[in-house]
């Protein structure tokens, strides 16, 4: 044991926080319980601390002094008293002389706010802690409200649903002009009055930067190069496939494969994965704000509040086992469905692409999708997790409801027959994937049939009964 302690001792002279952590006494380390596995709550019970060298794949240096200030408390009673005071003012002191329409809007807004306050103070925490657990509880409540709004829309007719959106923005509820981005695909047009690269410059707008930032965020969500590439390419293939249904899916080849895939998607994914690599090896040392003596240290600690509390690298391992392969295929299908429903809802409900409702949906999915994917990963691959996460449950319900709205409101567009070459392409692709699955996982498939057979079930039952009888004796 002494030799292990000697090996674990840091030999560098940087005197940084990771080195100072190795010099903490045994009693202080035991009381602080500082070193934990990366991304988990399990305390590292080894008799020595990991100093400047650690296993970068599974553990990392993690310390938290456990400071619980006013900022981290629930404030349930304070919020309740404040809510009651507002209601007393509205009921007894406010002069209600507004129109019925305004009162209806205000009443619905008050109901939403009460629900959000209840959720922020009472719903259990999710897997993320930064910048504050209450923020992620708020995202969960907003996703529930969005799902309730979708369910309400699902019970309307398509015309009523379009007109309902006028209560949010009076400019909505009007048919959208058909927009196609693939009419003039000439990349270089010499002699044109707007310049030889006018087509490229017209498409190089704010959405290009938003597209790049979006894929940076998606890489932080997915945390895997290959899965990001597969989703990126598959979405462009789906756009090609479905351009006979939605005109705005029709784009120039260089717009799809150069600007989208090779520029925006690739650069965004690369930057996102580099960020993941940095966070996977970064030591996390958390101290209470009032435990930091210098003002510069306090400012740095405030900025760090908007960084992850810890980091878990995802190892999807899609080709390792049949269970992982099917799980990754299902996650990819749901992810692509969520991307497609945004375009179909815009088209069916007559919402212009730059409208703030579309941006709100994208930003909401960015936050709730990150939590849902983390919960799904833990549920799929962690044997200790027996419960599907609450945010993942809501996101799955949202995507299913959006699909049902599209199917109900515009079945003519959804069920437009595919061109023969598109049908042949997807038939060949799906059959090839099925054949590869059987070829690569035939042993897992056969063992699955054996384990589910009545003979094996009877053998397992008899062995269990013998074990219980022997234990009672």
Pick from 38-47, 369-378, 452-461: least confident: 38-47
Q: Which residues are CB-contacts of 22 (< 8 A; sequence separation ≥ 6)?
A: 8, 9, 10, 48, 49, 50, 51, 52
Rounded average pLDDT over 379-398: 92
Indicate the angle between helix axes 356-381 and 133-154, nearest 10 degrees: 110
Phi, psi of 43 (to 5 degrees): -80, 135
- Looking up tokens 């960015």 gives 366
Query: Residue 63: enclosing H or E segment and its boundaries?
Result: strand 62-64
Q: Which residues are CB-contacts of 375 (< 8 A; sequence separation ≥ 6)?
A: 126, 127, 388, 389, 390, 391, 392
Best CA proximity match to 36, nearest among 20, 21, 16 = 21
- Per-residue pLDDT tens over the stretch 16-48: 444 444 444 344 333 333 333 344 444 443 333
Rounded average pLDDT over 315-319: 89
Best CA proximity match to 176, nearest among 251, 256, 246, 255 = 246
What pLDDT shows up at residue 451?
Answer: 53
CB atoms within 10 A of CB 464: 10
Query: Residue 442: enclosing H or E segment and its boundaries?
Result: helix 442-451
Position 448 confidence tier, pLDDT thresholds 50, 70, 90: low
More confident residue, 136 or 465: 136
- Per-residue pLDDT tens over the stretch 67-89: 777 777 778 899 999 999 999 99
More confident residue, 392 or 67: 392
Strand intervals (E) in 311-456: none
- Per-residue pLDDT tens over the stretch 227-277: 999 999 999 999 989 988 988 888 888 888 888 899 899 999 999 999 999
What pLDDT shows up at residue 27?
Answer: 41
Tokens of 193: 């009055």
Query: Residue 357: enclosing H or E segment and its boundaries?
Result: helix 356-381
CB atoms within 10 A of CB 451: 10
More confident residue, 189 or 327: 327
Angle at 127 between CA 124 and CA 129, to 5 degrees: 90
More confident residue, 12 or 290: 290
Longest dimension (CA), the chain: 96
Q: Are 62 and 90 in contact (CB under 8 A)?
A: no
Q: Are 34 and 64 in contact (CB under 8 A)?
A: yes
Highest averaged pLDDT of the listed ranges 93-97, 117-121, 185-189, 297-301: 117-121
DSSP 8-state symbol, 355: S
What pLDDT shows up at residue 370?
Answer: 95
Rounded average pLDDT over 441-454: 66
Count of helix runs (H) and strand runs (E) in the chain: 20, 2
Rounded average pLDDT over 450-459: 52
Q: Are 230 and 284 in contact (CB under 8 A)?
A: no
Q: Are 50 and 35 in contact (CB under 8 A)?
A: yes
**pLDDT for 51 beyond 60:** no
Per-residue burial over 360-397, b if 16 or more Cβ lie within 10 Å, else e, is ebeebbbbbbbbbbbbbbbebbeeeeeeebbbbebbbe
Residue 285: helix, strand or coil by DSSP?
Answer: strand
Domains in the chain: boundaries: 71-122, 139-421, 422-453
Rounded alpha-carbon distances, angstroms, from residue 421 to 238, 413, 426, 431:
14, 19, 9, 15
Cross-strand partners of 93: none
**pLDDT for 432 beyond 80:** yes
Position 97 confidence tier, pLDDT thresholds 50, 70, 90: confident
What pLDDT shows up at residue 470?
Answer: 56
User: 223 in the Ramachandran plot: left (φ > 0), alpha (ψ -120 to 50) or beta?
Assistant: left
What pLDDT shows up at residue 12?
Answer: 43
What pLDDT shows up at residue 395?
Answer: 97
Highest averaged pLDDT of the listed ranges 133-142, 276-285, 454-463: 133-142
Mean pLDDT across the chain:
81
Size (the chain), residues: 473
In angstroms, the CA 398 to CA 22 distance is 47
What pLDDT shows up at residue 150?
Answer: 96
Q: Are 64 and 21 in contact (CB under 8 A)?
A: no
Best CA proximity match to 436, nearest among 319, 344, 304 = 319
**pLDDT for 346 beyond 50:** yes
What pLDDT shows up at residue 15?
Answer: 42
Peptide bond into 175 cis (omega under 30): no
- Per-residue pLDDT tens over the stretch 155-189: 999 999 999 999 888 889 888 887 766 666 776 77
What pLDDT shows up at residue 345?
Answer: 95
Give the side-chain half-sphere CA count within 13 A for 344.
27
Tokens of 59: 């553990």
What pLDDT shows up at residue 472?
Answer: 52
Q: Which residues are CB-contacts of 348 (< 8 A; sequence separation ≥ 6)?
A: 158, 405, 406, 409, 410, 413
Residue 457: helix, strand or coil by DSSP?
Answer: helix
What pLDDT shows up at residue 390?
Answer: 94
**pLDDT for 458 beyond 80:** no
- Per-residue pLDDT tens over the stretch 349-370: 999 988 999 999 999 999 999 9
Residue 36: helix, strand or coil by DSSP?
Answer: strand
């Amino acid at each position: 044991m002494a030799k292990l302690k000697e090996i674990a001792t840091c030999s560098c002279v940087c005197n940084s926080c990771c080195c100072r952590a190795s010099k903490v006494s045994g009693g202080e380390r035991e009381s602080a319980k500082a070193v934990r596995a990366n991304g988990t709550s399990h305390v590292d019970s080894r008799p020595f601390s990991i100093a400047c060298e650690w296993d970068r794949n599974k553990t990392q240096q993690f310390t938290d002094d456990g400071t619980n200030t006013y900022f981290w408390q629930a404030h349930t009673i304070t919020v309740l008293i404040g809510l009651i005071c507002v209601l007393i003012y509205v009921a007894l002191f406010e002069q209600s002389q507004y129109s019925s329409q305004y009162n209806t809007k205000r009443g619905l807004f008050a109901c939403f706010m009460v629900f959000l306050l209840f959720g922020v103070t009472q719903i259990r925490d999710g897997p993320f802690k930064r910048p504050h657990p209450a923020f992620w509880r708020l995202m969960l409540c907003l996703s529930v409200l969005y799902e309730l709004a979708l369910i309400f829309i699902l019970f309307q007719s398509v015309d009523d649903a379009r007109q309902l959106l006028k209560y949010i923005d009076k400019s909505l509820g009007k048919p959208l002009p058909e927009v196609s981005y693939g009419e003039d695909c000439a990349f270089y047009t010499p002699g044109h009055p707007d310049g030889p690269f006018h087509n490229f410059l017209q498409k190089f707008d704010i959405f290009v930067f938003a597209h790049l930032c979006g894929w940076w965020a998606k890489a932080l969500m997915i945390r895997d190069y290959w899965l990001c590439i597969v989703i990126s390419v598959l979405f462009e293939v789906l756009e090609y496939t479905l351009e006979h249904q939605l005109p705005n899916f029709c784009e120039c080849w260089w717009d799809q494969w150069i600007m989208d895939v090779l520029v925006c998607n690739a650069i965004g994914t690369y930057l996102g994965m580099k960020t993941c690599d940095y966070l996977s090896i970064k030591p996390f040392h958390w101290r209470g704000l009032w435990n930091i003596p210098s003002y510069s240290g306090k400012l740095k600690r405030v900025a760090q509040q908007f960084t992850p509390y810890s980091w878990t690298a995802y190892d999807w391992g899609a080709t390792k086992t049949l269970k992982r392969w099917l799980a990754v295929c299902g996650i990819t299908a749901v992810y692509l469905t969520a991307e497609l429903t945004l375009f179909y809802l815009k088209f069916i409900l007559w919402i212009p692409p730059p409208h703030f409702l579309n941006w709100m949906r994208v930003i909401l999915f960015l936050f709730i999708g990150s939590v849902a994917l983390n919960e799904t990963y833990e549920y799929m691959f962690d044997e200790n997790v027996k419960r599907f996460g609450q945010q993942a449950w809501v996101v799955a319900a949202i995507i299913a409801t959006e699909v049902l709205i599209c199917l109900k409101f515009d079945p003519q567009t959804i069920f437009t027959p595919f061109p023969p070459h598109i049908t042949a392409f997807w038939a060949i692709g799906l059959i090839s994937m099925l054949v590869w699955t059987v070829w690569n996982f035939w042993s897992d498939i056969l063992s699955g049939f054996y384990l589910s057979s009545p003979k094996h079930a009877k053998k397992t039952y008899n062995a269990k009964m013998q074990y219980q009888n022997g234990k009672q004796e």
